[in-house]
Amino acid sequence: MKKIVALILLLLAAGKYSSAQLVNYPAPQGSSLNSDFTVKVRQGGQAWQQVATYLAMVTNVEGTKNIVENTSFAYFDFAGEVEVSVTANKGSIKDARIRPLSYGISTKTSGNTLTFSLTRPRDLSIEINGDIFHNLQLFANAIEKYKPSQKDTNVIYYGPGIHQVGTVVVPSNKTVYIAGGAIVMGQILINNKENVHVLGHGILTQLGAPASTVNTLTTPTPRASGAPRDSHPMQSRNDELTINFSKNIEVDGPVILPHKYSVFIGQSKGVKISGIKSFSSEGNADGLDIFCSTDIAIDNIFMRNADDCIAIYGHRWNFYGNTKNVTVSNSILWADIAHPILVGTHGDPPHPDTLGDMKFTNIDILDQHENQLDYQGCMALNAGDANLINNINFENIRIEDIRKGQLINLRVMFNHKYNTAAGAGIENIYFKNVSYTGTNANMSVIAGYDEKHMTKNITFENLTINGTVISDTMPGKPGFYKTGDMANIFIGENTDNIKFITTQK
C-alpha cells in the first residue's frame, strides 16, 4: 500500500512539473537597463535565472512642476508556479508592498531581498520603503500561445535584439511579431487596413531611437466635405501605435514606451487590445485613446501614464461618428497625472455624437494625481461638444489610496479650452461593487449643465468607502442628508434619479 501511495505522489509531482514552464529573455546589447533591482526567478527548486531589468520613465508632480523619474520594469513568461526574488540594490528593506493590493501576495524579506511565489500571470508594482517612483514593475506573463515562423511571408518578424525601424506601415492581412528579448525602435501605423495583428512580448518604443529613424508626421487634418474616409493619406502625431480607419485589428503583448499616445484608435471597428504594458512621462502622453470607433475590446492591460490612461472620445481632427460597444476588463490603471478613465470631452456639435454601450469591469486603479480640478476623477464622464453619454457600466472597480483627485466626476460641461458647446447629457450609468480604501480623495462631483442638459438615472450598487457600504437606507444616515454626503460626493443641480442601493446581506 505504501508503494502505491508513493507512486501516486510521484506521478502527481511529475504532472505538476511537466506543466511548468519558464521563459526568460536576455536583454539585447545596448539596452537601457536600470540597476536599482536584481530580479531572479526559478521553478521547482532549480537554479535561479536573472531577469533583465529595464529603464522606464514616469512623471512625479511637485507643486505645479513635472519631474521625470527613472523606474524599472522586468518581464518573463511562465506556466505553473514560479518563485521570484527581488533584491533592492540601494539599501535595506524596511517595508515592502506588492500592488494591486487586491492580489493579496504574501512576501518574505531577508536583508535587502524580497521573495514570493506566483501561480498565475500577474502585472505587479513592487514598492520598497514607500517609493512609488523608483519601484519595480514586474510583468509575469502567460506563455505565448502563438509564435510565428520567421519564414512566414505574412509576418513582419523582429527577433531578439535592437531594431531601428523608423515608421512601419503595416499592410492588410499581416502580422507584426515582436519577440521577447526584442526592442523595436520606431512607430507602427495601421491605416485603412484590415486583419492585422501586432503580437509578442518584446518592447516597442521611440525613446532612444536616433532622430533620423523616427518619422515625425503632422496631426491629421480634416477631410474635405463628402470625401471618402480613405481619401486622406495617413498622417500621425508621432504616437507609438496608430490604428486609423481600420477593422479587425489585434494587439497583444508588447511593452510600449512612447512619445505621445501609446495606442491611438481612430474611426475603426473590431479592435482587440490585450496584454500590453505602457509607461509614459511626457505631456500629452496618454495611454490608450479611442475616437469615433465601435466594437473595441480591451483586456488585461497595465497602463502607467503621465496623462489619461484610457480616454474615449467622439469627433476630433478627421474622425467622425459615434463611439459605442467598448469593453475594458481585468486591467490595472495608474495615472501619474490626469484620469485613469475618461469618457466624453471631444465631439461634433453640428452632428452630435453618442458615446455609449460601454462596460468597465474588474479593474484596479492604483493612483491618480491631478492638480487641476477640471481633470480629476478616476472614473470621469464629461459630456461636452453636444455629446450624449449613456448606458455605461462600471463593475468590480477597486480604487487604492490615490494621491490627489476624485473617485468620480460626472459632469455635463462646457470646457472652453476643448469645447464649442455644452454636452447633451449623461444618463443610464451603473456603478456596481466599486470600492475605495484611503483618505486622500477629494470630493467627487455629479452635476448637469442646465435643465435641458442633465445628468440622470445614475445608480450605485454596493458603493463601499473604507469598508462602509453607502446606500439610501444605510444605518446612521440622517433623513435630511443626501446619500452622496455620506460618500463625499457633491450631487449638484440639474441631476435626477441618483440612487444608492445595496444587495449585500
d(CA 189, CA 389): 30
Q: What is the pLDDT of residues 155-170, one digit of tens each?
A: 999 999 999 999 999 9
Residue 199 has pLDDT above 90, yes or no: yes
**So where are the chain's domains?**
20-142, 155-501
Q: Note whether 262 and 240 are within 8 A (CB).
A: yes
Q: How confident is the model at residue 238 (pLDDT cuts 50, 70, 90)?
A: confident
Q: What is the pLDDT of residues 256-280, one digit of tens each?
A: 999 899 999 999 999 999 999 999 9
Average pLDDT (440-447) is 97
Q: What is the pLDDT of residue 416?
A: 92
Tell how strand 302-305 and strand 277-279 pair up.
parallel
Mean pLDDT computed over every residue of the chain: 91
Residue 403 has pLDDT above 80, yes or no: yes
- Cross-strand pairs, 19: none
* Alpha helices, DSSP H, located in 307-384: none
Phi-psi region for residue 485, left (φ > 0), alpha (ψ -120 to 50) or beta? alpha
Residue percentage of the chain with pLDDT more than 70 = 90
Q: What is the pLDDT of residue 7?
A: 45
The domain covering 20-142 belongs, at the CATH homologous superfamily level, to Dextranase, N-terminal (2.60.350.10)
Query: How many whole angstroms from its chain centre is CA 434?
Result: 18
Residue 149 has pLDDT above 60, yes or no: yes
Q: What is the pLDDT of residues 408-430, one digit of tens each?
A: 999 999 999 999 999 999 999 99
Would the pTM count as exceeding 0.85? yes
Residue 391 has pLDDT above 50, yes or no: yes
Tell how strand 108-110 and strand 113-118 pair up.
antiparallel
Q: What is the DSSP string of 447-499?
A: E-SBTTB-EEEEEEESEEETTEEE-TT-TT--TTS-HHHHTTEEE-SSEEEEE
Average pLDDT (447-458) is 97
Residue 230 has pLDDT above 90, yes or no: no
Q: What is the pLDDT of residues 330-378, one digit of tens each?
A: 999 999 999 999 999 999 999 999 999 999 999 999 999 999 999 999 9
Q: What is the pLDDT of residue 11?
A: 40
Q: What is the pLDDT of residue 474?
A: 95
Q: What is the pLDDT of residue 209?
A: 55
Q: What is the pLDDT of residue 214?
A: 40
Residue 236 has pLDDT above 60, yes or no: no
Distance (Å) of CA 297 to CA 260, 271, 290, 325, 361 = 22, 6, 11, 8, 12
d(CA 293, CA 296): 7
Amino acid at 396: N
Residue 323 has pLDDT above 70, yes or no: yes
Q: Note whether 238 and 259 are within 8 A (CB).
A: yes
Q: What is the pLDDT of residues 61-75, one digit of tens each?
A: 998 999 999 999 999
Q: What is the pLDDT of residue 235?
A: 53
In this structure, whether the domain defined by 155-501 belongs to CATH 3.90.79.10 is answered with: no
**Taking Cα atoms as reference points, which of 500, 479, 497 lies closest to residue 488?**
500
